[in-house]
Structure 1
Amino acid sequence: MVPARSDADRATNAVLARRRLAQGLRRYRQRAGLTIEDLARGLECSAAKVSRMETGISGIRIQDLTAITHLIDFAESERRDLEELVRRARGREWWQEFSDVVPPGSGTFFGLEDGAATIEIHATSLIPGLLQTADYARALVGSVNGVAPELLTRRVALRQRRQRLLDRPDAPRLTVLMDEAVLRRTIGDGPLMAAQWEHVLRCAESAGVVVQIVRSDAPVHPAEGVGFTLFSFEDQDLSPVVFAEALGQQTFVDEPDPVRVYVDALASAQRVAQAPDISLEMMSKRVKELRTGG
């Protein structure tokens, strides 16, 4: 029998290592029969700090872990596993090379995206970044007033770098549900959009990528007008995470009940969406319209 992999073995990047570390701390605390308040008293810190450590908001240092081992009994393998996760959680990841253009909190998004087994996107106004061409991204980012040319170049490069995950042997399964309004919207000009939709078509015709269009006359569904991304992971111990953004405000949802609301909303949208083959036909027709000016 193949032995089960440890939490450290399953951590594929610093963000997932931090999440596994947080969930491990919570699991071992509960196993010891301690409350958050009990652990906080033993560590001589606030309950809020322990809560932040258990949700991954605050990092856990080796010193913190050493103090915790005086309060909770760990097997030697468990302790080594947690120490390795602490080290990995402090590791450097590729998106840190773009720190000049990565908004606060976006590192968490990139880590979830990079480590997910499945990515499901409900897009209401724009083509998702994983499917954008460089020209589309440049036109989109450049539409914001005051963006310096060098920052524009860096932001487009960041978007292109993210897309490399779709070329990996272990690429995540990507499902994109897009409102028909996205199909009709023009960013830049007609030729740019034609090339963009041709790119989406190529992606959608490859294994592991599904694109479905929700027609404007489709029945109203719970996800109507709400754009979000659902990340799920190969390791069932890691709960799914929802990411939503509005007016620059980022929200991550990982509590089971709220996540279920998004999962159900996504399923409702998929039920009224066009089948993948019909969606491909709609995108192909749109390319012809853009090429001919129709």
Structure 2
Amino acid sequence: MAGSPTARRRRLSFELKRLRESSGMTCAQVGAAVDWSGSKVNRMETGHGRVQPSDVEALCRLYETTDELREFLKSLARQAKTKGWWQVHGTGVPEWFNIYIGLEQEASSFRQYQCEILPGLMQTPAYIRELHFAGSHMKPDDAERAVRVRLERQQMLAGEDAPDTWFVASEATLRNVIGDRTVMREQLEHLAVVAQFPAVTLQVLPFDASTYPLTGSFTILGFPDQEDPDVVYRDGITDATYLEGEHHVREYTRAFDGLRAAALSPQRSLQMIQSITKEYAR
């Protein structure tokens, strides 16, 4: 079973859609059969509506599922209503980013490209604070909550069950000064340590790299259950885009493969990081 409320809600939506499609019925037909609107059924299947256990009961009886599957889906509905640990920080985590963290908690693999700032899961507290205080309109208390959430998220990389994580970072992320040179020196020292964690692979895409896909930053999240398809995540200043279609995932996977092929090897990337760190120490 999925491990976060967001992932549970997503899994439930997929299962309800799968059951309806297997029945050969449309959303409108299902709605008419259980005295709902077709739009309510659609919202349940797209994750935009809260699904109650009683709703699941009605749908499963209509679809004539097994008792075991019905109880499993009702359990998902109950647990999807709980709050994740990160949500107790309130406005320190924007609503649109709550969705990403929920998916991140369940992911078994990450493929991330960063072209402007270093990966969030590898940032130091000082680097994070500079980003939040200088680059957003958050209140100081909310910014500190955001820092705590990001630091807690980073713990997943060091655990025994850490997800398989592969980062490609542009050389610009190493040279863009966030804060001051002291902040950057400490940040790159930390980066070199995290890059050597067993579950982490880090490559640097140098300025003089050969031809590679031109794209902004993105993350591909993979999940342990085959029933949960990969998700491509792209964030903005005030919102985010989630792409789940097979063609989207395929194209971004192809782009990531091109980026890591053009990037330095992990060993040479570490050497570049250490070299630039010395420049900040001067």
TM-score (norm 1): 0.91
Q: State the match for 2:154 in structure 1.
A: 163
**Aligned: 1:176 with 2:167:** yes
CA distance in 2, matches of 1:61, 1:271: 47
Find the partner of 1:123 among 99, 108, 114. 114
CA distance in 2, matches of 1:59, 1:147: 29
CA distance in 1, matches of 2:97, 2:139: 20
CA distance in 2, matches of 1:39, 1:220: 51
1:193 deviation in Å? Answer: 0.4
- Give me the CA root mean square deviation: 1.5
CA distance in 1, matches of 2:138, 2:237: 17
1:14 deviation in Å? Answer: 1.0
Find the partner of 1:236 among 226, 236, 248. 226
**Aligned: 1:24 with 2:15:** yes
Q: State the match for 2:210 in structure 1.
A: 219
- For 1:71-110, what aligned pairs fall within 5 Å after superposition? 71-110=62-101
Find the partner of 2:239 among 236, 240, 249. 249
Moved more, 40-49 or 236-245: 40-49
Find the partner of 1:132 among 111, 123, 127. 123
Structure 1 residues 131 and 145: CA distance shift in structure 2, 3 A: closer
Q: Is the 8 A contact 1:174 1:209 kept in 2?
A: yes
Structure 1 unpaired stretches of 5+:
1-9
CA distance in 2, matches of 1:225, 1:35: 38
Moved more, 226-235 or 56-65: 56-65
Secondary structure of the residue aligned to 2:62 is: coil
1:221 deviation in Å? Answer: 2.4
Q: Is the 8 A contact 1:32 1:73 kept in 2?
A: no
1:137 deviation in Å? Answer: 0.5
Return structure 1 stretches of 4+ with deviation > 6 angstroms. Answer: none
**Aligned: 1:154 with 2:135:** no
Over the matched positions of the two proteins, sequence identity in percent amounts to 32
Secondary structure of the residue aligned to 2:92 is: coil
CA distance in 2, matches of 1:119, 1:86: 27
Structure 1: which amino acid aligns with 2:89?
A: F
CA distance in 2, matches of 1:249, 1:55: 18
CA distance in 2, matches of 1:190, 1:135: 12
1:23 deviation in Å? Answer: 1.2
Find the partner of 2:258 among 268, 275, 278. 268
CA distance in 2, matches of 1:159, 1:122: 18
CA distance in 1, matches of 2:160, 2:79: 23
CA distance in 2, matches of 1:114, 1:146: 27
Secondary structure of the residue aligned to 2:126 is: helix
**Aligned: 1:39 with 2:39:** no
CA distance in 2, matches of 1:270, 1:145: 31
Count the aligned residue pairs.
282
Secondary structure of the residue aligned to 1:244 is: strand
